[in-house]
Amino acid sequence: MELMAAVVSGVKMENEGIRKNSTLICAPLMADSVDQMVIDMKKAKASGADLVEVRLDSLKGFNPREDIETLIKRCPLPTLFTYRPKWEGGQYDGDENKRWDALRLAMELGADYIDVELQVVMDFNNYIHGKKHAKCKVIVSSHNYQNTPSVEDLGNLVARIQATGADIVKIATTASDITDVARVLQITVHSQVPIIGMVMGDRGLMSRILCPKFGGYLTFGTLEAGIVSAPGQPTIKDLMNLYNLRQLGPDTKVFGIIGKPVGHSKSPILYNEAFKSVGFNGVYVHLLVDDIASFLRTYSSTDFAGFSCTIPHKEAALKCCDEVDPVAQSIGAVNCIIRRPTDGKLFGCNTDYVGAITAIEDGLRGSHHISSRTGSPLAGKLFVVIGAGGAGKALAYGAKEKGARVVIANRTYDRARELADTVGGDALSLSALESFHPEDGMILANTTSIGMHPKVDETPVSKQTLRSYALVFDAVYTPKITRLLREAEEAGAKIVTGMEMFIGQAYEQFERFTGLPAPKELFRKVMASS
């Protein structure tokens, strides 16, 4: 693979040293004119891509010989030409011979790669009379927009592609569950030939980021968010800067945030930046998980070293752990799972309650920098928790520990009652909270997702109700200032954002993930600018 070696050799990252893997970043270009393609090629080069995929099927008014020659001559990077028909997820809907003619031309005029679909590659080979060009590598591809087959079927598919004489095998499947990715990674890591293995869709994102760890030939990164040639593609900028793709290798440890939804989480920004700052060989990814038990069973290798858990998996996570910290056991929820490197056993703990309670205490004291005086400012206060899920349990437990009188308000009264009984508090339905003000100077803590992006206009209680509270906390941190917090401030209450809880709970998770002290100033800086 001379081209790959040439692209990789001596490439240095700014401030990063030499890249640690040979996986290429390919920018798919979907412009509808040659001029725009050329502009995008320059952008791809500037953004750090190794090659571009020219999607000929996106061009309007295409003059094959002239346009392909122009595109090859004016491209500052190696080129991959794809002319994808509608029947394989592309836009071309014409005569097959014309399509093959364009791909043949690309080979002759100096393309570095062409992509031909498995379904027609034998016909294409006959069409060109087996005349390959030494410089041009043929990628033979198969796209499955329905699902991800079994490992056995994937193995057979790869063998079929290899048998066509492909220089590079490409398989793209679709994730209906995040566990589907494991099968493609397994095929990729054991492949004896250069292979591109992608799992499309949000649940397949991990396949695109972990390519270098599992030996994938290339991964696709878009120039701009949302302009993708297949579902679930990240941007080149994110691959390079957020996920630090150039520095990933077979021994990189994988961490991530398990949730549903999960794309809003800023955890990958925080942890990846922190890993980079201390030179820790890890990568942290979004994990859109439907069934946490199934996820943890599938990704059981010690390479999958630790996870943060968010809504709705915190309570189910506890049942999946081999050992649980006593505090997390009392709360009944786990937000951090560590896989022991010695035996692969799972240890669960809860860092939510420390992060949130500390942030609320600091808010009551009026400063982040005043150390705990004797006793907690929460002692004796009436502390109302909205929500009876994992975060609600953590806040209720933490407030009780600090001597507060706890009230749980929840849409489902029975769940509120159940949690209240556990912590020795009172219960209300959420609707009853509107008329609940036995005293002034209470504390309110929202632990539900009400008001979270994109439903930013929602709030769990009316502005009128907020007048009875001295301090209001919202666990939601996207947006940073929710409608609840904005209206609480207008009603005269002190407010504490979910960002404060997020940073506080992240300190401990980082230390458990890495065994290193958390870079606290960096955490604050990263979250302030994200």
306: enclosing H helix or E strand: strand 304-309
Q: Is the peptide bond before 312 cis (omega within 30 degrees of 0)?
A: yes
**Residue 24 reports pLDDT greater than 70:** yes
Mean pLDDT score, 419-427: 96
Q: What percent of the chain has pLDDT over 90?
A: 88
The vertex-151 CA angle with 148 and 152, nearest 5°, equals 120
**Residue 104 reports pLDDT greater than 90:** yes
499: enclosing H helix or E strand: helix 498-514
Mean pLDDT score, 244-249: 97
Cα(88)–Cα(305) distance, integer angstroms? 37
**Residue 415 reports pLDDT greater than 70:** yes
Say which of 57, 112, 177, 352 is annotated catalytic: 352
**Residue 496 reports pLDDT greater than 60:** yes
Cα(85)–Cα(200) distance, integer angstroms? 18
Question: Is 143 designated active site?
Answer: yes
Cα(306)–Cα(526) distance, integer angstroms? 21
Task: Name the CATH superfamily, with its identifier, for domain 272-349+515-529.
Answer: Leucine Dehydrogenase, chain A, domain 1 (3.40.50.10860)
391: enclosing H helix or E strand: helix 390-401
Question: Is 170 designated active site?
Answer: yes
Residues 31-44: tens digit of each pLDDT? 999 999 999 999 99
CB within 8 Å of 525: residues ≥ 6 apart: none
Task: Name the CATH superfamily, with its identifier, for domain 354-367+376-496.
Answer: NAD(P)-binding Rossmann-like Domain (3.40.50.720)
Q: What percent of the chain has pLDDT over 70?
A: 95
* Closest by CA position to 215, among listed 170, 184, 261, 249: 249
Q: Which of 8-17, 221-230, 498-507, 509-518 has the highest mean pLDDT?
A: 509-518
Strand pairing of 218-220 and 346-349? unpaired
Strand pairing of 79-82 and 113-117? parallel
Q: Per-residue confidence at 8, pLDDT binned at 50, 70, 90?
A: very low
Please, what CATH class does the domain formed by 24-248 belong to?
alpha beta
What does the pLDDT read at residue 150? Answer: 98
Cα(328)–Cα(19) distance, integer angstroms? 40
What does the pLDDT read at residue 226? Answer: 83
What does the pLDDT read at residue 227? Answer: 83
**Residue 119 reports pLDDT greater than 80:** yes
Distance of CA 455 to the CA centre of its chain: 21
What does the pLDDT read at residue 17? Answer: 56
Q: Which residue has the higher pLDDT, 327 or 399?
A: 399
The yes-or-no answer to whether 24-248 and 354-367+376-496 have a common fold is: no
The 10 Å Cβ neighbour count of residue 150 is 9
Question: Is 314 designated active site?
Answer: yes
What does the pLDDT read at residue 231? Answer: 82
Cα(445)–Cα(387) distance, integer angstroms? 9
Cα(525)–Cα(530) distance, integer angstroms? 9
8-state DSSP, 172: E
Cα(452)–Cα(450) distance, integer angstroms? 6
Overall residue count recorded for the chain in this entry: 530
Cα(267)–Cα(222) distance, integer angstroms? 22
CB within 8 Å of 481: residues ≥ 6 apart: 495, 497
Mean pLDDT score, 386-396: 94
Domains of the chain: which residue ranges? Answer: 24-248, 272-349+515-529, 354-367+376-496
Output phi, psi for 54, to 5 deg: -90, 110
Provide the mean pLDDT of the chain. 93
List beta partners, residue 139.
115, 168
Mean pLDDT score, 474-496: 96
8-state DSSP, 92: B
Q: Per-residue confidence at 229, pLDDT binned at 50, 70, 90?
A: confident
- For the chain, the C-alpha Rg in angstroms (whole number) is 27
The sign of the dihedral angle between the CA atoms of 337, 340, 341, 344 is negative
What does the pLDDT read at residue 254? Answer: 98
Cα(276)–Cα(280) distance, integer angstroms? 6
Q: Which residue has the higher pLDDT, 16 or 472?
A: 472
Mean pLDDT score, 200-226: 96
Q: Tokens in use for 491?
A: 């009603």
SS (H, E, C) 18-59: ECCCCCEEEEEECCCCHHHHHHHHHHHHHHCCCEEEEEHHHC
Cα(91)–Cα(55) distance, integer angstroms? 9
Residues 49-84: tens digit of each pLDDT? 999 999 999 999 899 999 999 999 999 999 999 999
Cα(3)–Cα(167) distance, integer angstroms? 12
Q: Which residue has the higher pLDDT, 2 or 111?
A: 111
Question: Is 237 designated active site?
Answer: no
Say which of 20, 137, 170, 213 is annotated catalytic: 170
- Secondary structure (3-state) at 219: strand
Residues 354-374: tens digit of each pLDDT? 999 999 999 999 844 445 556
